[in-house]
Amino acid sequence: MVSAYHSTLRKSAWSPGFWARFIACGVVLGVVIPAINLWIPSNSAAALPDYLIPLLGKYLCYALLALSLDLIWGYAGILSLGHGAFFALGGYCMGMYLMRQIGTRGVYGNPLLPDFMVFLNWQKLPWFWWGFDHFAWAAAMVILVPGLLALVFGWLAFRSRVTGVYLSIITQAMTYALMLAFFRNDMGFGGNNGMTDYKDILGWDVHQPATRLGLYVASVAALGLGYLLCRFITSSKLGRILLALRDAESRVRFLGYSVTNAKLFVFTVSAVLAGIAGALYVPQVGIINPSEFSPGNSIEVAIWVSVGGRGTLSGAIVGAILVNAAKTWLTGAAPETWLFVLGALFVTTTLVFPRGIVGLLREARWTRLRAPAPVPAGEQA
């Protein structure tokens, strides 16, 4: 019986209607927007100027990050306040690759050492920088470094049943410790200046509009694939277990499921997604520095998810894009009001509409479906 229930769930998750909506969104983001940017002349009112492309790409990376947090918070009830750390680690791996691509074009022209190492009198490349001149190695590290950290951290935490607020606080301590570590100059990651002044990625100049468009399309693809992966996980049997342990962890444990393994798996997947988001973010914004690890950044991700609607995958994406677009607009138009708005968003979403935008929309649709059909006028009396 359970498996029958399951197959209906799975069917509804992958219905033709879903595919139609998914492909439509993909086409708008991945085809229409680039087409407008490329072919509508810049003097036209409908034009999309080149500078907006990396901005949109940045929003998409944030959306992927929000998606990764929603997977563990919305579905498994694990509020990580250190997800920014996985994002930043992925970003640092990509940043290291981009630094090695500069080659002799740096200020000091050293073929082996990045500028900041020459500046700090390093004699040779530290071992953890080996291999980062190859894109494949960097890409593997983008997945492995956040994944392994999450695996070890999660194994320690979930095995000893650190839950709820305690988990939130130690994830916050983790990102705080990493921030302090990356601020140190002798760590070999550029200290508080971070890494910047990138030249090219895979042979293409990162400042060229075409490269930026390519990175944008790559972000669309990553977000789409990440979304499908999350949908696959949440609509699977594992997804049901996650929902169950979110609502009554002890009961799931007593039913014989391994809560630790389920959490560990989803936490690691989520960290890898965050790492990929960070890796795509860095070449588009052109810098990575330790402030990406700051605890405030990670909490902000939670509010994107909240605004969009936690426990709904599309909500995380919508929330991340809306909040960040509002941030871009407000910090330009009235910088001193932004923190008021962000603070108010935190308070009102938790107090007034905890289900978020997508949650509210769904609720509205449900009430419409459930409402009794209006009685035709002729049948009265």
Partner 1 sequence: MAPSPTYAFSRALWGRALRAAKRVRVLRLAAFVLLAIAGTTSARADEFSTLLSDLASSSFADKERAVIALGRLGDERAVGVMTALKDGRLIKAPDGRILVSDATRLTDPVTGADVSGVAGDTADRIRVNNRLRGAIEGALGELTLFSSDPAARLAAAQDALRHPFADQAARLEKGIAAEKDPAIRAAMEQSLLASRLFAGTSAEKLAAVRALGTTTDPQIKNLLDQFRAAPETDPDLRQAADAALGSIQNRLRLVGLAASLFEGISLGSILLLAAIGLAITFGVMGVINMAHGEMIMLGAYAAYVCQQLFRSFLPPAWIDGYLVLAVPVAFLFTGAVGVALERSVIRFLYGRPLETLLATWGVSLILQQAVRSIFGSPNREVSNPTWMTGGFDPIGGFTITWNRLVIILFCLIVLGALALILNRTRFGLHMRAVTQNRPMASVMGIPSARIDALTFGLGSGIAGMAGVALSQIGNVSPNLGTIYIVDSFLVVVFGGVGNLMGTLVGALSLGIVNKFLEPVAGAILGKIVVLVAIILFIQRRPRGLFALRGRTAEAGA
Around 272, how many Cα atoms within 13 Å sit in the side-chain half-sphere?
19
Around 178, how many Cα atoms within 13 Å sit in the side-chain half-sphere?
24
**Alpha-carbon dihedral 270, 272, 276, 278, rounded to 10 degrees:** 80
**Is 174 near partner 1 (CB under 8 A)?**
yes
Q: Where does this chain touch partner 1 (CB under 8 A) — which range of 143-151, 168-176, 230-238, 368-376? A: 168-176
Return the residue of 23, 248, 339, 364 that touches partner 1, per CB under 8 A. Answer: 339
Return the residue of 303, 313, 323, 357 that touches partner 1, per CB under 8 A. Answer: 303
Q: Look up residue 43 and give its two tokens.
A: 């003097």
Beta bridge partners of 200: 205
Q: CB of residue 63 vs partner 1: minimum separation in angstroms?
A: 19
Q: CB of residue 169 vs partner 1: minimum separation in angstroms?
A: 5
CA-CA distances (angstroms) from residue 214 to 200, 252, 294?
13, 45, 29
Q: CB of residue 250 vs partner 1: minimum separation in angstroms?
A: 9
**Alpha-carbon dihedral 340, 346, 349, 355, rounded to 10 degrees:** 150
The single residue listed with the structure tokens 């020459």 is 118
Dihedral sign computed on CA atoms, order 97, 199, 202, 121: negative
Instruction: State which residue, 208 or 250, has the beta carbon closest to partner 1.
Output: 250
Site string for partner 1, 277-296 (x = CB under 8 A): ------------------xx
**Is 264 near partner 1 (CB under 8 A)?**
no
Return the residue of 166, 254, 329, 366 that touches partner 1, per CB under 8 A. Answer: 166
Q: Look up residue 176 and give its two tokens.
A: 């705080």
Instruction: State which residue, 47 or 187, has the beta carbon closest to partner 1.
Output: 187
**Is 336 near partner 1 (CB under 8 A)?**
yes
Instruction: State which residue, 46 or 347, has the beta carbon closest to partner 1.
Output: 347
**Is 302 near partner 1 (CB under 8 A)?**
yes
**Is 181 near partner 1 (CB under 8 A)?**
yes
Quick one: which of 168, 196, 370, 366 has its CA closest to 287?
A: 196
**Is 156 near partner 1 (CB under 8 A)?**
yes
Q: Look up residue 290 and give its two tokens.
A: 């330790």
Quick one: which of 283, 298, 91, 312 has its CA closest to 206?
A: 283
Q: Which residues sit at the interface with partner 1, rule CB under 8 A?
A: 79, 153, 156-157, 159-166, 168-170, 172-174, 176-177, 180-181, 183-184, 295-296, 299, 302-303, 306, 336, 339-340, 342-347, 349-351, 354
